[in-house]
Every structure is written in C-alpha cells, then in structure tokens.
Amino acid sequence: MILKPTRLLIAMTAMAAAPVVFAQNVATVNGKPIPAAKVDQVVKQVVAQGRATDTPQLRELIKKDLIGREVLIQEADKQGVGARADVKAAIDNARQSIIINAMLADYVKKNPVKDAEIKAEYDKAKAQAPEKEYHARHILVEKEDEAKAIIAKLKGGAKFEELAKQGKDGTAQNGGDLGWADPRGFVPEFSKAMTSLQKGAITDTPVKTQFGYHVIKLEDVRPVQVPPLDQVKQQVAESLQQKKLAEFRESLMKKAKIQ
C-alpha cells in the first residue's frame, strides 16, 4: 500500500507526536494515565521536606507508589467505598484541614515574626525567670497515714527511691524523680514545702495537695542559667508564630455570627 503524500505527511506527524504524548505520562493503569507532572510534584515535596534528594531511584520509587495507589483507588471505586458516609465525612475533614493549613501558611508568610518581637519576648521571659531551680523527688499516696508511715521508714534508714515505688503517680518507677524545675510549676502547697527544705532533707510531715499526700525530698538547688538568645531564637520564634495564629483565629471567631 502506497500512501498519498498528504496521508503520508499526516502519518509521519502522528508518529513524531506520539513520543511527546507518551513522555507526558509515566504509566497507565487500566487506561488511566499517571502524568509525569505528578511524579515531579511529589519529588518536589519530598526534596523540600529534606527527606531525600532528586535521584532516578527516588523517582522510580515514587512512580511505583503512584501506580500502586492508582490500582487501589480504582478497586475502591469499584467497591463504592467512596460513597460510604464515614468515608465522605473523613474526606470532608481532610479537605478542611488541607485548605485551612494552606490559608494559615499564607498568613504566616504575610505576617512573619520579626527579630524585634523575638528579642522583646526573650527579654520578657528572662526577666520573669526564677533565680533558682530545684531538683526534688516525691512520693504521692492517697492517705495521710500512708505518708506518715513512709516518713517513719525513711527516718529509719529506708531508701527514698525504693519507697517511691509505692507512689500513685507516673514518677513512682523513677524513684519519684521530678527533675530540675521552676518551683512556680508546682501547686503552691508543694512548692512552699519544697523550697523550705535544705539540700538532702525530707519533709517531716505529709504535704497535702489536691492530688493527695506527698513526701518530698530536696536533692539539690542551683541558680537558673538562662540560655543566650541565639540558642533559643528558633523556639521563641515558633512560640510567637503560634501565638499570632491563635490571635488570628480568635479575631475571626469574634467577627463570625455564631448562634
């Protein structure tokens, strides 16, 4: 069969265009194309997150993952999974989260935390920092008689860390260790009793708080060392950023008509 010049030109044009069309897709699954642009998009996201670098191996992994996802979504569509009420609700929640996060990201870009704000927040926190921090242990029990019995055993030479296993809170298995802390972080009754102790001393009587009865041992006291700004600048910036986002949300809540 001999093609006429016009038909031959059309055929040659189609053949030349075919590789270009094919190059636009990395694969097809049951006739559904997976665009190369989709692979590029995922690669860009992965690289931006610092999880990997753009390599042929990464692209092949992403391609296989996209193919696998397409196979699964096609099967899910056949089974009508997407029409289920619970799935629709989950999709709607995910949609809301994606859109809200994108909007908040835009807000952060338009309202960045400034160095002057970071410095002011750091200075404020530094001025409010306590002079000392305390390292204490405690044993928390429900009844006063239990606490008194523990104090008697301690006076008799029992080890605090062993008796702490009788405690009713999360520190029990760690010898009642509360670590280094700002005394203002404890309830007033506990803080007052702890800060009145000498290093190595134990409370003579149980300390009653809303949580129960405590036996407290003061391990050590040290001056508070406030880290320099350059060491905590990122944490301060993130805290201020979250504060700005919270204020933005509150301003929208106030403007909204909520019944």
CA dist 91 → 62, 79, 95, 160 (Å): 23, 17, 6, 54
Given a cut of 80, whether residue 253 has pLDDT beyond it is yes
Asked if the model's pLDDT at residue 4 lies above 80, the reply is: no
pLDDT of residue 23: 60
DSSP H helices, the chain, are 5-23, 36-48, 56-78, 85-110, 115-128, 144-155, 160-163, 188-195, 229-255
Q: Minimal CA–CA distance to 169: which of 177, 159, 181, 180?
A: 177
Q: What pLDDT was estimated at residue 238?
A: 97
Q: What is the pLDDT of residue 8?
A: 41
pTM, 2 dp: 0.61
Least confident of 47-51, 65-69, 150-154, 180-184: 47-51
What is the per-residue pLDDT for 17?
45
Element (H, E) at 146: helix 144-155
- Structure confidence by residue, pLDDT tens digits, 94-147: 999 999 999 999 999 999 999 999 999 999 999 999 999 999 999 999 999 999
Q: Which residue has the higher pLDDT, 70 or 1?
A: 70
Task: Give the residue-averaged pLDDT of 233-251.
Answer: 97
Amino acid at residue number 117: E
Position with higher pLDDT, 246 vs 166: 246
Q: Confidence band (pLDDT; 50, 70, 90) for 7? A: low
Specify the DSSP element, H or E, that contains 29. Answer: strand 25-29
Secondary structure of residue 259 in the 3-state scheme: coil
Give the pLDDT mean for 178-193: 96
Enter the tokens of residue 12: 């040659």
The model's pLDDT over 40-54, given as tens digits with 9 standing for 90+, comes to: 999 999 999 988 899
